[in-house]
Chains A and B, each alone.
Chain A
């Protein structure tokens, strides 16, 4: 059993070169941004002498390669540098924002499953019928509407008109967080559901026609117990990898949505940092997002292996 998870340490080792590649890309892309952080900090009226002095102080006058190696060298010590705008360690800023963004993503994932599984089941049990068509309309709308627009519409409808939810923010106490995060998570869930529903619908139709579902029926299984015991887990197998890929995209979406809902997560941190040309912060957030996507990739394979006993990613001959 545990043999089938031998691929995890191997995959972790394999991700090291990926991470190194990411640091290079992130570092140099950030420096391609037009504009000068010293100028941004000091304002348009600063004299060239003061700008040059600040550049020296921040280490920005050194050659790019030297700056890169200083950046990587500090990384090994867990030092992400100091934010140019906040004058605080970037590590603290990121550490503050990460739990917020991660809980938003987890919340969105749960909501999107809560939307997708029943809708896919409804559609798959009556393909070509009215309810299948309605689900199809939902997936088309969900895919067609831009996320930020859905977010704004939800705010207008549920928060401003009905007053059912806060307009934005994250809430003060842990008990408030789920309530405050509901609308942004729902926005992300709506964006994520269509692909999940389509994949799950197709695989459910497949599974419902499988011989072993007939076997289960011959044992007297029907309805929810048939679906839970024999259909869902088999139908989920191809969908898991799609959710994994989507979760990577979802991080990108959450950056924008956090801005719409004024949530102090990684997205807000990133966007403010970009406007301020706060290089260390941009680098740290991008690096974290890359690590997150790598982790999701490995986690997807773990889940995949858990739900399908036939999968063995560790054996070479099947790779």
Chain B
């Protein structure tokens, strides 16, 4: 078990550090841990044509902060996350923008250097614990792989560290389970393995791509609690992509809502949920069930999100929006500060003002 958040092991002696931390580069004061600036992700069907899927996305994550990105399937939230991790599926690529980690642009970095950050600085947890683990490698060895590569541990030390990490993620009988293959474990255990793997090198930024979507609700809660606990213990920042508003409400402090490749609203989770300033955010909240108020009517958002290659002029949400005015279809509304600490990309933002969701 980790003694505290400030312990920085420097690989002395034979015993691996409890939390398996690498010695990090010093924190740059005044610089956000992660700063995504005007990120555009898409494909190049031909040399002089591009189709962007994610467009002009910007946000900052401060050390220790937890940021939730919500949106429908196809809103570009997962691609944004994968662009940060450098794991975009071919042929999707970053078309423009910057992804600064600790003040350094990851996109300008040579691939080899960037890979050395994956694990000790930035780690990722994937959606499907069923398929995200290699079926023919023992889970202990899969956890040990990162520490062996990045922390310079021997196979034995890394194996011991893997068992420790499994114990930290609450896996009973970790020494025996470390020798299991993924198919021998339940979904919840597998996701714990994924988390143990991700935190094994003590990253400062954890990217989570719908880590609880494939799990049933009771296990979801356990896994979320675990993530929170680990992040609290080590001061790790979190970027959490999900379509589940309740999960964001529980886990995150900051929120960005994505629609059709754009961030349409961002701010503090609690404030945004209480008083959404973008019609899409409002629609999401109204269409999601709330167990505290089971009698409330669910109001679906009519229509479908626009096709990537065929987005309408102006605001992409306009065709589905209840607040739409003629000028909405003429120009894309900029993401502007509508309340202190709140950004929304909507010309009609003020009209949502009076209607506070209780």
Contacts and interface: CB of A to CB of B under 8 A. Distances in A.
Interface in B69-126: 85, 87, 89, 111-112, 115-119, 123-124, 126
A220 B149 contact: yes
A215 B119 contact: no
A214 B119 contact: no
A49 interface: no
A217 B132 CA distance: 11
Nearest to B181: A309
Interface string A265-279: 000000000000000
A218 B115 CA distance: 8
Interface string A228-244: 01100110010000000
B87 A310 contact: no
Interface in A218-256: 218-222, 225, 229-230, 233-234, 237
B178 to A, nearest CB: 14
Contacts of B89: 209
B135 A234 contact: yes
Interface residues of A, number: 23
Contacts of B134: 212, 215-216, 230, 234
B149 A221 contact: yes
A309 B132 CA distance: 16
B119 A211 contact: no
Contacts of B197: 215, 219
A219 B118 contact: yes
A212 to B, nearest CB: 4
A218 B145 contact: no
B145 A219 contact: yes
A308 interface: yes
B20 interface: no
B150 interface: yes
Contacts of A217: 87, 118
Contact of B126 (A214, A221, A225): A214
A309 B183 contact: yes
Nearest to A225: B149
Nearest to A210: B131
User: 4 nearest interchain CB pairs?
Assistant: A211-B131, A218-B124, A220-B118, A212-B134
Interface of A: 209-212, 214-222, 225, 229-230, 233-234, 237, 307-310
